[in-house]
Amino acid sequence: MKKVLQAAIVLVISTLTVAGCTPDPDEPLGMAIEFTAHATSTYVALEKGWYGDEGLSFETFDSYVSGMALASALARGDIEVAYMCLVPAITAYANAGVPIKIVSGTHKHGYGLAVDPGKIQSVEDLDNPDIRIACVQAGGAVDIVFHKTIDVYALNKAGVLANTLRMNPAKALMAVKAGQVDAVFLPEQWCTMAEEYGFEMLVGSKDVWPDLQGSVLVVKQNLIDESPEIVEAIVKTDRKTLAWINTNIEEAAQILSRSLQGTLEQSISLDSAFETASGFEYSPEVMQRSIERIEFTSSIDANVVQNVIDYMAELGYISNSFPAEQILDLSFQD
């Protein structure tokens, strides 16, 4: 099996004996995550050895700088498990026909608008034609929050979008650092990191979409069909890790800081986006502020997922809406 170094965490199931099953150690499963604070639970579980407690062994390579890039990678056969934002998961399923199921939530919220307070005091100021805005690629999770913000505050959509530059989070933060933009819509940790360069958080995703699902745990349908005990073990580990994060924020932030730095050390030569990301410090103090803005929980509401699907269809990011039950399998949360 070809290893995708840009993307993946490779999940090696070496001696799994859960429910009497022993998968072939020569057939590793590919796992991918995003290079954000959204993946804190994965980094914590790896460092704590909690996957090993369930008979799961991981060999870590890299993570994706953006959820949209991760969504594209899911179409490949070597990635069968992913921790990713809900929106790109829906995109992969609806637009690329990737046979995936969402088996658990991992967090809610984790997106926001940070601004130069010298130029922007209210969201309505985004209507000013002189304001320069940076946001991720159209159709990404943060872009959906961006559109929702425009709707909630009744902004001039055409004008605001005309002043928006599309770039990945690392490049957007570089633009903040260089004084090239006045506002950024970004996921965590990037939003909080913008505060290090004089920006202030103006709006969080919970302000415009109170029950928004952030990231989810996604698996390929064939993994559920062939090895449901593996899926159960991963869900169990993540649920344990999420509960731990909520009572150990400071240590979780330290782990996140180390993990992001470690990822960069392995990835800079593989992807120019990581080279851009290497220009910043991921200090434990900043990472703590970041994860405090995220609600870590495995719970997920089918109605919320349906609302996101419907809104994506309304925006034209997927061709048609579909029942949320088609992409959900929450039986492993029992």
Output Rg (C-alpha) for the chain, integer angstroms: 19
Interhelix angle 249-267/40-48, nearest 10 degrees: 90
Query: Sign (positive/negative) of CA torsion 298, 299, 303, 308?
Result: negative
| Token reading at 315 | 């925006």
H or E element that contains 291 = helix 284-291
- Give me 178's structure tokens: 């260089």
What pLDDT is stored for residue 272 in this prediction?
A: 62
List the Cα angle 73/76/77 in 5-degree steps: 140
- Answer whether 50's CB lies under 8 Å from 101's CB: no
Domain made up of 8-108+212-333: CATH architecture: 3-Layer(aba) Sandwich (3.40)
Phi, psi values for residue 184, rounded to 5°: -135, 135
Which residue, chain included where needed, has tokens 């991918």?
A: 32
Q: Scanning the structure block, which residue is given the tokens 């965590």?
A: 188
Task: List 204's β-bridge partners, or say none.
Answer: 112
CATH 3.40.190.10 corresponds to the domain 111-208: yes
Distance CA 154, CA 173 (A): 26
Q: How far is CA 183 from CA 4, 56, 165, 197, 312, in A?
A: 34, 42, 10, 12, 23
58 and 234 Cβ atoms separated by less than 8 Å: no
Report how far residue 75's alpha carbon sits from residue 30's, in angstroms, rounded to the nearest whole number. Answer: 12
The two most distant CA atoms of the chain are separated, in Å, by: 64
Residue ranges of the chain that CATH labels 3.40.190.10? 8-108+212-333, 111-208
Q: Which strands form 133-135's sheet, in the order they lie side by side?
A: 164-166, 133-135, 183-187, 111-115, 200-204
- The dihedral through the CA atoms of 209, 210, 214, 220 has a sign that is negative
DSSP, collapsed to helix, strand or coil, labels residue 85 as strand
Contacts of 331 (CB under 8 A, 6+ apart): 103
Q: How would you write the pLDDT of the chain (334 residues) with one tens digit per residue?
A: 333 333 333 333 333 333 334 444 344 567 788 889 999 999 999 899 998 898 876 544 446 655 666 666 677 666 788 899 999 999 999 998 999 999 999 999 999 999 999 999 999 999 999 999 999 999 999 999 999 999 999 999 999 999 999 999 999 999 999 999 999 999 999 999 999 999 999 999 999 999 999 999 999 999 999 999 999 999 999 999 999 999 999 999 999 999 999 888 766 444 566 778 888 999 999 999 999 999 999 999 999 999 999 999 999 999 999 999 999 999 998 6
Q: Are 209 and 263 in contact (CB under 8 A)?
A: no
The whole-number pLDDT of residue 72 equals 67
pLDDT recorded at residue 1: 33
DSSP string, 203-231: EEHHHHSTT-B-EEEEEEHHHHHH-HHHH
Reading the block at residue 296, the tokens are 């870590």
Relative to beta strand 81-85, strand 295-296 is: unpaired
Residue 291 is which amino acid? I
Q: What is the pLDDT of residue 11?
A: 39
- What sign has the CA pseudo-torsion 143, 148, 149, 150? positive
**Which residue bears the tokens 């990581």?**
274
Residues 28, 51: Cα–Cα separation, whole Å:
15
